Amino acid sequence: MLHKCMFSGSGGQGSALMAKMVCLGAIKENLKVVMTQTYGIEQRGGDSTAYVIVSDECIGSPIVENDATIAVALSQSIYDNCFDGTVSGGKLFTNTSMIETPREAEGCDQILLPVSDMGVELGTVRCANMVMLGAVLAGTGILKLETVEEVVNEVFGAKKPKLVGLNVEALRAGYAAMNKEAANG
């Protein structure tokens, strides 16, 4: 099993946090994992992409270069890079709350979910990344939902315990939305 992942968005949308959750979850599930990232010079608003490779075998190279099997596009500004960086047969998770005119997918499976709107419904747009991560878990099977819920408890529990419930709820909402999408598709 080998998953090459690209989590992208504008600075402040939490793409790096999504990647960190996947890394910590992979470690919990005794998988091999490596993460790299790129980001703009601005703290908020610049494009940010975190690359994660998860495997059950040794990872020879930490590079994800136009060969992502799982890609996430949270914002319009980084969407084309994600679209072009997803391999044939890969999955591109697209935030339709921010990406108004997604391109026609050729060869990859594009999952269209309004995760920012779903985050607002849960109480804050800031949990859109966790909604999307839940969808990624359901749509790819990369990790178990329960594992990532444990990671959320550990990461937020120590410093921001008030955020644990919201982020677990967001994960579950995305997971359920993806399962509903799969059942209807």
CATH number at residue 46: 3.40.920.10
Task: Please name the amino acid found at residue 182.
Answer: A
Position 103, amino acid:
R
Residue 84's domain spans which residues?
Answer: 2-184
Phi, psi of 52 (to 5 degrees): -130, 135
> Would you give the distance in Å from CA 94 to the centre of its chain?
10
Q: Is the dihedral of CA 139, 94, 19, 84 positive or negative?
A: positive
Q: In what helix (H) or strand (E) does residue 157 lie, and over which residues does it extend?
A: helix 145-159
What's at 104, amino acid-wise?
E
Give the number of domains in the chain.
1
Q: What is the pLDDT of residue 42?
A: 56
DSSP secondary structure, 8-35, as one string: EEETTS-HHHHHHHHHHHHHHTT-EEEE
pLDDT in tens, the chain (185 residues): 999 999 999 878 889 999 999 999 999 999 999 999 887 665 556 788 999 999 999 888 878 888 999 999 999 988 999 999 999 999 999 999 999 888 887 888 999 999 999 999 999 999 999 999 999 999 999 999 999 999 999 998 888 888 899 999 999 999 999 988 777 76
The Cα-based distances of 44 to 19, 29, 103 in angstroms read 18, 32, 26
CA dist 111 → 94, 143, 156 (Å):
6, 18, 28
